[in-house]
């Protein structure tokens, strides 16, 4: 959520930012907020004037009562009653306007970074760098579901009977591999100085509204019927909301956390749920990294975070590239974002495995997360998040890049301790 002063002082900047994100339908909101804010401040000023007048008259009444001038005091009491009615009307108007302004403000996108490429959707994202050499072997690599099946590691048919489309059973070595990469990612981030966390997997509606836009909420979140609770789509939701309404100490920043959770997503929209494989599903597990820091440090942390992802995937023999997200592909709360995409030797292209974002103070304003400076001033923190590893999707890249001609899967040295010392997985059929 933006600072209301930006709309008061520079409406055109806000409108230009909306145009860059190709959300012209939101342009009228800026002028509506501007006018309602004027109306709100006028009502508040008048209410404050009436309160001051009421205070003075109340003091006069007290003086008159002490002087036993009851008639004059009663006349002034009538004036106080009239002021109370006017104050009540104005305060109700203030409350209504404040609510309407906040609802509209939460629909206005965050100001994006000046160097974000302008584009309508993810097709216009820009490749910035590659890490590792993408290769295509001289033998055919099967579809990932078939690789898992050869290891007797995937059962979507039974999951379909039990839970429906978009769910899965992982078994044997594949299930162990799934847990291994999560454990490896956890320790990788702990070694970077991050604190390991396991958060609640359900959060209240006000926390959801604090961490994401209304559009994202409707497309992603599962609501618990009859409860003010939502299943999280990523642990970032719980981890940021942990500091809701808190004033942090400057010396405690930055707060760096790596969190594990299952994730639940509707996946509403054009992408759809994958019928056969495990690329796009309703339920998965993820290791996340989350940072709360001072505003002047957020860009430095952004660069550190996506570089951690690159280093982790390279340690597992997976070539990746950094793709800068264009304006139209940025969620409303994001200042900038990039995807780390893994190489698929089977498809001969890259696909997303991590998403790193700097949201500046957009989430912090919604959740009222501030820190107290040494001079006593309070300022909103900046929040950032990035995927560390999100299996089972990440397993697709792992299996393809470590697949051998005989159907076996090599286990990189870094992961072997988490696989009981296994160096290779041999197909069972």
Q: Do residue 54 and residue 156 come from a single domain?
A: no
Reference 185, options 63, 88, 309; nearest CA is: 309
Q: Do residue 196 and residue 84 come from a single domain?
A: no
Q: Do residue 192 and residue 57 come from a single domain?
A: no
- The answer to whether residue 267 sits within a structural domain is yes
pTM: 0.89
CATH number, domain of 200, equals 3.30.930.10
- The answer to whether residue 335 sits within a structural domain is yes
Strands laid side by side in the 382-389 sheet: 126-131, 320-324, 336-344, 349-358, 382-389, 283-293, 255-264, 195-197
Strands laid side by side in the 378-380 sheet: 247-249, 370-372, 378-380
Q: Do residue 311 and residue 230 come from a single domain?
A: yes
Q: Do residue 99 and residue 178 come from a single domain?
A: no
Token representation of residue 218? 């409707």
Q: Do residue 281 and residue 403 come from a single domain?
A: yes
- The answer to whether residue 111 sits within a structural domain is no
CATH number, domain of 99, equals 1.10.287.40
Token representation of residue 106? 């939460």
Distance between the two ends of the chain, CA-based, in angstroms? 54
| pLDDT tens series, the chain, 429 aa | 899 999 999 999 999 999 999 999 999 999 999 999 999 999 999 999 999 988 888 888 888 888 878 778 777 888 888 888 999 999 999 999 999 999 999 999 999 999 999 999 999 999 999 999 999 999 999 999 999 999 999 999 999 899 988 899 999 999 999 999 999 999 999 999 999 999 999 999 999 988 888 778 888 889 999 999 999 999 999 999 999 999 999 999 999 999 999 999 887 554 555 567 788 888 899 999 999 999 999 999 999 999 999 999 999 999 999 999 999 999 999 999 999 999 999 999 999 999 999 999 999 999 999 999 989 999 999 999 999 999 888 999 999 999 999 999 999 999 999 999 999 999 986
Q: Do residue 127 and residue 62 come from a single domain?
A: no
How many independent structural domains does the chain possess? 2
Q: Do residue 95 and residue 237 come from a single domain?
A: no
- The answer to whether residue 115 sits within a structural domain is no
**Dihedral (CA of 315, 344, 395, 198) sign:** positive
Q: Do residue 54 and residue 167 come from a single domain?
A: no
Q: Do residue 198 and residue 68 come from a single domain?
A: no
Token representation of residue 169? 């059973």
- The answer to whether residue 349 sits within a structural domain is yes
Token representation of residue 57? 């008259």
Q: Which of residues 105, 133, 167 is at a domain's end?
A: 105
Token representation of residue 173? 């070595």
- The answer to whether residue 208 sits within a structural domain is yes
Q: Do residue 150 and residue 72 come from a single domain?
A: no
- The answer to whether residue 113 sits within a structural domain is no
Distance CA 172, CA 176 (A): 6
Q: Which domain holds residue 234?
A: 122-425
Q: 154: which strand partners?
A: 170
Q: Do residue 92 and residue 216 come from a single domain?
A: no
Distance CA 191, CA 10 (A): 44
- The answer to whether residue 114 sits within a structural domain is no
């Amino acid at each position: 959520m933006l600072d209301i002063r930006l709309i008061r002082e520079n409406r055109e900047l806000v409108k230009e930012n909306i145009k860059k994100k190709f959300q012209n339908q939101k342009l009228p909101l800026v002028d509506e907020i501007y006018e309602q804010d004027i109306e709100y401040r006028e009502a508040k000023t008048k209410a404050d004037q009436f309160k001051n007048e009421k205070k003075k008259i109340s003091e006069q009444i007290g003086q008159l009562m002490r002087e036993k001038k009851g008639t004059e005091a009663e006349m002034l009491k009538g004036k106080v009653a009239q002021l109370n009615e006017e104050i009540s009307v104005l305060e109700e108007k203030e409350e209504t306007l404040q609510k309407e302004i906040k609802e509209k403000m939460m629909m206005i996108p965050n100001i994006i970074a000046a160097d974000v490429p302008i584009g309508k959707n993810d097709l216009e994202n820009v490749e910035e760098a590659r890490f590792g050499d993408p290769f295509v072997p001289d033998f055919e690599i099967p579809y990932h579901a078939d690789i898992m099946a050869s290891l007797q590691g995937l059962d979507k048919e039974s999951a379909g009977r039990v839970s429906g489309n978009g769910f899965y059973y992982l078994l044997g070595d594949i299930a162990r591999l799934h847990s291994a990469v999560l454990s490896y990612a956890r320790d990788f981030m702990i070694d970077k100085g991050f604190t390991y966390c396991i958060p609640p997997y359900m959060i209240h509606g006000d926390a959801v509204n604090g961490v994401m836009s209304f559009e994202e909420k409707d497309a992603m979140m599962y609501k618990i019927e009859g409860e003010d609770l939502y299943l999280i789509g990523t642990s970032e939701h719980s981890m940021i909301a942990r500091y809701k309404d808190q004033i942090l100490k400057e010396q405690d920043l930055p707060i760096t956390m790596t969190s594990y959770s299952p994730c639940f997503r509707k996946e509403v929209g054009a992408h759809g749920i994958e019928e056969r494989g495990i690329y796009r599903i309703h339920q998965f597990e993820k290791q996340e990294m989350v940072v709360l820091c001072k505003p002047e440090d957020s860009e430095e942390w952004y660069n550190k975070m996506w570089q951690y992802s690159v280093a982790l995937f390279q340690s597992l023999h997976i070539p990746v590239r950094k793709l800068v997200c264009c304006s139209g592909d940025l969620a409303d709360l994001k200042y900038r974002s990039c995807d780390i995409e893994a190489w698929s030797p089977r498809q001969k292209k890259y696909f997303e495995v991590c998403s790193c974002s700097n949201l500046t103070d957009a989430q912090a304003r919604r959740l009222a997360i501030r820190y107290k400076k040494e001079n006593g001033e309070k300022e909103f923190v900046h929040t950032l998040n990035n995927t560390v590893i999100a299996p089972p999707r990440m397993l697709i890249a792992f299996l393809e890049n470590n697949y051998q001609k005989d159907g076996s899967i090599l286990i990189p040295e870094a992961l072997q301790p988490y696989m009981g010392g296994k160096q290779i997985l041999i197909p069972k059929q």
